[in-house]
Chains A and B, each alone.
Chain A
Amino acid sequence: DAGVIQSPRHEVTEMGQEVTLRCKPISGHNSLFWYRQTMMRGLELLIYFNNNVPIDDSGMPEDRFSAKMPNASFSTLKIQPSEPRDSAVYFCASSFSTTTGNEQFFGPGTRLTVL
């Protein structure tokens, strides 16, 4: 298996622009997570999908952030409009359910820089 795939790996954009991050989870996994990692705040869970349905979006910072999962093999995280404080590494992770003990498999991340 190729693991969790994220694109792009790096994104540099200007304040106010729309940014779309993409994720392909591991085939057969029914749980998908978006995280944000910064030096100041560490790893933060943004949103959790189960069977393509958003279950917990309490970590989404504000209305500028939105996430979708139109099918089991694809998810997007969109920021519109982007701001410099959104600069971070964004990780997608997937797992086979959230039964305790099931680990999450992480993608390589997208490093976002908003100028």
Chain B
Amino acid sequence: AQSVTQLDSHVSVSEGTPVLLRCNYSSSYSPSLFWYVQHPNKGLQLLLKYTSAATLVKGINGFEAEFKKSETSFHLTKPSAHMSDAAEYFCVVSGFSGGYNKLIFGAGTRLAVHP
């Protein structure tokens, strides 16, 4: 079975400093992995996805994530935080269950950005 664990429920950074949101996954086969972002009172928006191509994936708004099979990790990073990055971030793995590929969501990490 597939699962995903987001290691921090809350992360707080200062504007202009790096962002690191940590995610570990469990999968019995080569997974597809995603990061979604949810701004307050909004729907979820795809930031980036990994589907067994390049292990370093670049997404929107300067975010990127690196797939590390040996560590079963897919951490999300950004070199310099902006106030508009404050949101909730979900790490997601695509898992085959019940006859189809469903998205399995982590519990989320709330990112706060301070001036």
CB nearest neighbor in A for B31: A100
A100, B90: Cβ atoms closer than 8 Å: no
Which residues in B have their C-beta under 8 angstroms from that of A91?
Answer: 43-44
A43, B101: Cβ atoms closer than 8 Å: no
CA distance A43 to B90 in the complex (A): 10
Contact with B along A91-114 (1 / 0, CB 8 A): 101000011111111111101000
Number of A-B contacts (CB under 8 A): 53
A101, B49: Cβ atoms closer than 8 Å: yes
Q: How many A residues touch the partner, as a band?
A: 20 to 34
CB nearest neighbor in A for B106: A42
User: B101 touches which one: A42, A93, A100 (CB < 8 A)?
Assistant: A100
Asked, given contacts A42-B108, A91-B44, whether A103 binds B102 with beta carbons under 8 Å apart, the answer is no
Cβ of A56 within 8 Å of any chain B Cβ, yes or no, is yes
Which residues in B have their C-beta under 8 angstroms from that of A77?
Answer: none
> Which B residues are closer than 8 A to A by beta carbons?
31-32, 34, 36, 41-46, 49, 51-52, 90, 94, 96, 98-103, 105, 107-108
User: A108 touches which one: B42, B98, B99, B101 (CB < 8 A)?
Assistant: B42
CA distance A93 to B99 in the complex (A): 19
User: B32 touches which one: A48, A100, A111 (CB < 8 A)?
Assistant: A100
